[in-house]
Amino acid sequence: MTPTIAVLLIVTFLVSTVGLLALIWSIATNQFGHGKQAAETIFPPGEEGHGEDPARDISDTLDGNLPPNSEAINARQRADLSSRGPVLAWLCSAVFWLVLGSFYGLISSTKMHMPEFLANSEWLTFGRLRPMHLNAVTYGWASMAGIGVALFLLPRLFRTALVGARFAITGCLIWNVGLVLGLLAINLGLSDGEEWLEFPWQIDILFVIGGALCAIPLVLTAANRKVNHLYVTSWYFMAALVWFPFLFLIANLPFAFPGASGVTVNWWFAHNVLGLWVTPIGIGTAYYLIPKILGRPIISYQLSLLGFWSLALFYSQVGIHHIVGGPVPTWLVTLSIVHSVMMSIPVITVAINHHGTMWGHFGRLKDSPTLRFVWIGALMYTASSLQGSMEALRTVNVITHFTHYTIAHAHLGMYAFLSFILFGAVYFIMPRLMDWEWPWRRMISVHFWLVSVGILIYFVSLTIGGWKEGLALLDADMPFMDIVRMTLPYLEARTIGGGLMTLGHLVFAVHFVAMLRRHGERRYQPTLFRSTQQEASQ
């Protein structure tokens, strides 16, 4: 290590520490404003104490009949209707890519233990379908649903109508064109060759334009806002929409990073897609939906802001833990490991807020589909993040690196955390946009149990299989092929889990389409997991 780099490294650490101290000072001296009052920003006057997705007693909701409350209800409806077009466009695309991406994943998984399955065509070879799965579910499902949810929540958070909806719709079109071309390129063997960055850079330009077109309504709406305080959810969304185009543009600069420096940029980007793009969207959504459904503000607002800035500071530097033991400078790996462990700070602050707000209200999970999906998602965020911090440690990483264990961890984060929160958000948003309730209670139930059991099988089998694989790889006494044979049952179990998840997505998609078509008879009560007393007495 050259002395210059040592000095720069120390300077970086000092800057980080000073930044953190400044943050703690500003919180201690109440620079962040009003705490409890700020946490109540999302409730119009009189709404606090009333859940928006009524879980038990129908009389609990705020229906706007009382004169002082009607203005709040009207404002909410104005906000919801203003974002209708773009939100529907982004969500419909997301559901389509989810179903398609699931099939790519399921076929890839099957090929892992049945190598002759669909093996004659180069279009269907494992090495092409697997990146198509990753890109379809990351940039198709997760990103598009995330942008849709953000476009729905922002007007509510700013308590105003969405300005510039047509930019977001155009952005959606361009994004979809990018996905079609990008997946086609991988299928034709035109991949750029780096994980998470497979789309050819020429096509990546479309994503940058599509994403930028979504930032325009965000900025215009923010400028128009009717609230004094920006609720923490909007912090996460605004930051994510700044981070993503920036990251995506730099990492895709063609031929800028040759040889071994390419691997650092590759994983700096790939982990930031998780940490600085989908994670803020997932946490931000939970920060809105959990208090809103329960009708009670989050328990510690200051903590939520500490969580935000520490996430920004630490998550942006964890990427190189993907190259532990690899041919990159040791200081770089150590830096990422340190930041990975430090990530437990934002994770714990978020956990205190999400689960602390839920505390004492777990009974509502029995009824509200949104709350159940979102809270389980939040719980899995805590679990997968703490697992990730552990996994970055050299002693653990030497075992889990290069194995299926990592794949299980990735799905705990991208699926059990993020996708569950997005499912919950879609169940919340659609009735408000369509002015229609979900047609079938049982289908929500079936969807929930299929994906829950599916991801459980998926995660448990690959975690055990991957751990055993990792231990065996360290010891050359066990021949390589014996290790492959040992992992086969776990790979088969993964296909079963993945199959259940795919089935769940089909159920979800059918229900979503029925919802779009306003299937069945008009009902005036929310669709819950259990029938409400009123319905039951009819």
Partner 1 sequence: MKRAIAIMVGAAFILLLAMLTLVVLPYIQMSTEQVPPDLEPYTELEQQGRDLYIANGCVYCHSQQPRDPSFAKGDKDRGWGRPSVPGDYYYDRPHLMGTMRTGPDLFNIGARQPSDDWHLLHLYNPRAVVEDSIMPPYRFLFREVESADEDDHVVKIPDPYGPDSGQVVATDDALAMVAYLKALDHSYPAPTLPQPDADEE
Asked if 332 touches partner 1 (CB under 8 A), the answer is yes
Residue 43: strand, helix, or coil: coil
* Residue from the set 35, 64, 326, 431 that interacts with partner 1 by CB under 8 A: 326
Asked if 319 interacts with partner 1 (CB under 8 A), we say yes
465 touches 471 (CB < 8 A): no
Nearest CB to partner 1, comparing residues 222 and 386: 222
Among 62-70, 415-423, 430-438, 467-475, the segment contacting partner 1 (CB under 8 A): 467-475
CA triplet 139, 273, 416: central angle to 5 degrees?
Answer: 75
Least distance in angstroms from the C-beta of 95 to partner 1 = 26
* Residue 265 Cβ vs partner 1, minimum distance, rounded to whole Å: 5
In this structure, are residues 196 and 133 in contact, taking their beta carbons and an 8 Å threshold? no
Output Rg (C-alpha) for the chain, integer angstroms: 23
Token pair in block for residue 15? 């800057």
Binding to partner 1 by residue 486, rule CB under 8 A?
Answer: no
Q: How far is the CB of 258 from partner 1 (least distance, A)?
A: 5
Nearest to 297 by CA among 231, 237, 357, 375: 357
Q: How many CB atoms lie within 10 A of CB 294?
A: 23
Rounded Cα distance, 438 and 446, in Å: 14
Site for partner 1 in 337-356 (CB under 8 A): 337
Q: Confirm if 336 and 319 have CB atoms less than 8 A apart.
A: yes
Q: Closer CB to partner 1, residue 481 or residue 536?
A: 481
Nearest distance from C-beta of residue 225 to partner 1, angstroms? 8
Backbone φ and ψ for 300, nearest 5 degrees, come out as -135, 105
Residue type, 405: Y
Candidates 78-86, 342-350, 482-490, 494-502; binding stretch for partner 1 (CB under 8 A): 482-490
Size of the site for partner 1 (CB under 8 A): 93
Nearer to partner 1 (CB atom), residue 250 or residue 514: 250
Q: Which is nearer to partner 1, 12 or 77 (CB)?
A: 12
3-state SS class at 248: helix
Establish if 480 lies at the interface with partner 1 (CB under 8 A).
Answer: yes
DSSP alpha helix (H) spans, 188-329: 201-223, 232-251, 259-273, 279-294, 301-315
Residue 475 binding partner 1, by CB under 8 A: yes
Q: Give whichever of 232 and 416 is closer to partner 1, judged by the CB atom.
A: 232
- Of the candidate residues 116, 521, 524, 536, the single one contacting partner 1 (CB under 8 A): 116
Contact 46, 72 (CB under 8 A): yes
Question: How crowded is residue 456: how many other Cβ atoms within 10 Å of its Cβ?
Answer: 13
Q: Do the beta carbons of residue 226 and residue 266 sit within 8 Å?
A: no
Q: Does 411 bind partner 1 (CB under 8 A)?
A: no
Q: Cα separations (Å) of 457 from 16, 215, 368?
A: 40, 38, 24
Closest approach, Cβ 213 to partner 1, in A, equals 17
Question: If binding is defined by CB under 8 A, does position 2 make contact with partner 1?
Answer: yes
Q: Which of residues 119-158 bind partner 1 (CB under 8 A)?
A: 119-122, 125-128, 130-131
Secondary structure of residue 467 in the 3-state scheme = helix
Query: How far apart, in whole angstroms, are the C-alpha atoms of residue 303 and residue 350?
Result: 8
Among 31, 330, 525, 533, binds partner 1 (CB under 8 A): 330
Asked if 352 contacts 305 with a C-beta cutoff of 8 angstroms, the reply is: no
395 contacts partner 1 (rule: CB under 8 A): yes
* Identified binder of partner 1 from the candidate list 183, 320, 493, 500, rule CB under 8 A: 320
Q: Report, in Å, the least distance between residue 428 CB and partner 1.
A: 25
Site residues for partner 1, 208-227, by CB under 8 A, read 222-223
Kindly state the smallest distance separating residue 405's Cβ from partner 1, in Å.
Answer: 11
Which range binds partner 1 by CB under 8 A, 142-150, 283-291, 391-399, 435-443? 391-399
Residue whose entry in the numeric block shows the structure tokens 């990483």: 397
Which strand (E) or helix (H) includes residue 50? none
Give min distance, CB of 279 to partner 1, in A.
13
Diameter of the chain measured on Cα atoms: 79
Q: Which of 83, 135, 264, 285 binds partner 1 (CB under 8 A)?
A: 264
Rule CB under 8 A: say whether 22 interacts with partner 1: no
Terminal alpha carbon distance of the chain: 76
Choosing from 246, 390, 440, 446, the residue that interacts with partner 1 (CB under 8 A) is: 246
Residue with tokens 């078509």: 517
Rule CB under 8 A: say whether 3 interacts with partner 1: no
The site string for partner 1 over 283-312 (x = CB under 8 A, - otherwise) reads --------------------------x--x
Q: Which is nearer to partner 1, 295 or 470 (CB)?
A: 470
CA distance 29 to 7: 32
